[in-house]
Amino acid sequence: MSIDTLWFVIVVMMFTVYAVLDGFDFGTGIIYVFVARTDTERQLVLKAIGPVWKGNEVWLVAGGGLLFLAFPKAFAAGFSGFYLALNLVLWFLIMRGLSIALRSHLRNPLWRTFWDAIFAVSSLLLAVVFGVALGNLIRGVPLGPDGQFFAALWTTFTPDRIPGILDWFTVLVSALAVAILSVHGANYLALKTDADVRIRACRIADVGAWVVVLLAIMALPALVFVQPALRDGYVAHPVGSVLLLTAGVTLFTAQYFRRSRLDLAAFVSWSLFILGSLGSIAWGLFPNLLIATEDPAFSLTISNSAASSYGLRVGLVWFSLGISLVIGYTTWVYVSFRGKVERVLFEGSYE
């Protein structure tokens, strides 16, 4: 395996792990007002994610940093072209954090209702924006010969040669992302809570899984239609079909475990479904990082956007040290706060 390919795998791994870890935080926020109907229940839900949500965001920061280290041209093109989307992500992350931190500062019901709404809406919009971004990565962007691009918010609402950020395909991918993360959050709450919150979370997970299946049936042919490179990638490297098989099997095993009330197994299966889905997309797009819709020759790949081999080798040493600390800390946090959360018996902030 070349050093460029290894770094492609590392960057994809960082973002897919982020999608799993912070994904259930987003999902918890999306279904927040549906599973938690009293103030005590809402404090319980916030306590379930309280010890981990900040640490989960580390994977996003680390993934962005590693993308800059390994593929600076792709980083520059993506961050300038998706400038609006990235600013929205930043603001939604800030508002989500503020809602968790400030909610319990006052006992006023109006104050708490306001921050509950901010938490739910910002979580939903984060899932929408990340879903649209994934759709753009799959479909491609209007890269020019200089390796830069600008995309309007929408143009003809179709994935043509000069598409906008929004079209029917990116909206479909975004809807699928929202559904997947909603079920992910429901499975997490079923694992961490009990009584009425758990019952409602299980109900949402059951119904939401079938919504995911329906949207996935719609999205699969659209993926091949919009981006033929996905099919070509699997034709060239058919062993990647293992990732597709993993995603398909775990989608239904998660439902089986959910019906069997095996909460941990259901959560792990759904996590593997997300990992398998994102991994299969990355496999099909490899070696592309940003696909040009106008002329494939303008696409940014791991070859024409990578840093120097010396820099990548040195970076690999520091990455090995850093990721060891991140994995160790993440594991310690999740082990320390394993099990069901207890009902909140005091007023406090769960940051």
Structure confidence at residue 131 as a pLDDT band (50, 70, 90): very high
* Mean pLDDT in residue range 214-219: 95
Distance CA 26, CA 185 (A): 7
pLDDT digits (tens, 9 = 90+) for 311-345: 999 999 999 999 999 999 999 999 999 889 876 54
Distance CA 145, CA 36 (A): 51
Average pLDDT for the chain: 92
pLDDT at 346: 44
Distance CA 104, CA 100 (A): 8
pTM of the model: 0.93
Structure confidence at residue 152 as a pLDDT band (50, 70, 90): confident
Count of CB atoms situated within 10 Å of the CB of 67 = 21
Distance CA 277, CA 284 (A): 11
Count of residues in the chain: 351
pLDDT digits (tens, 9 = 90+) for 153-208: 888 888 888 888 999 999 999 999 999 999 999 999 999 998 899 999 999 999 99
pLDDT at 343: 67
For residue 64, give both structure tokens. 């962005």
Percentage of residues of the chain with pLDDT beyond 70: 97
CA 350 to chain centre: 23
Residues whose CB falls within 8 Å of the CB of residue 47, separated by 6 or more in sequence, listed in order: 341, 342, 344, 350
pLDDT at 151: 82
Domain locations in the chain as residue ranges: 13-218
